[in-house]
Structure 1
Amino acid sequence: MHISGIYAALGTLLVLVLTFRVIRRRFSSRTGIGDGGDRELARCIRVHANAVEYLPLALILLFLVEWNQTQPLLVHGFGITLIVGRILHAIGLSRSAGSSPARLIGMLLTLLTMLGMALLLLWQSII
Structure 2
Amino acid sequence: MTSLEAAAFWVGLNALLLIVLSARVGRARWKNRVNLGDGDNPDMLKAIRTQGNYIEYAPAALGGLVLLALLNAPIVLVHGLGALFFLSRVFHLLGLGMGVWGKGRLFGTVGTMFTLLITGCSLIYFAIF
Tell me the TM-score normalised to structure 1 length. 0.93
Aligned to 1:90: 93
Which among 62, 76, 80 is matched to residue 77 of structure 1? 80
CA RMSD of aligned residues (A): 1.4
Tell me the TM-score normalised to structure 2 length. 0.91
| Residue 10 (structure 1) aligned with residue 13 (structure 2) | yes
Counting aligned pairs with the same residue, the percent is 32
- Displacement of 1:126 in angstroms is 2.1
Tell me the distance in 1 between the aligned counterparts of 2:17 and 2:60. Answer: 15
Structure 1 gap segments, 5+ residues each: none
- Displacement of 1:38 in angstroms is 1.1
The number of equivalent residue pairs is 125
- Structure 1 residue runs of 4+, over 2 Å off? none
Structure 2 gap segments, 5+ residues each: none
Aligned to 1:51: 54
Tell me the distance in 1 between the aligned counterparts of 2:95 and 2:17. Answer: 14
Which among 119, 122, 129 is matched to residue 120 of structure 1? 122
Paired residues of 2:68 and 2:126 also in contact (CA < 8 A): no
| Residue 103 (structure 1) aligned with residue 105 (structure 2) | yes
Q: Deviations over 1:31-85 (max 9, x none)?
A: 1001111110111000010111111111000111111111111110110011001
Secondary structure at the counterpart of residue 8 of structure 1: helix
- Displacement of 1:95 in angstroms is 3.6
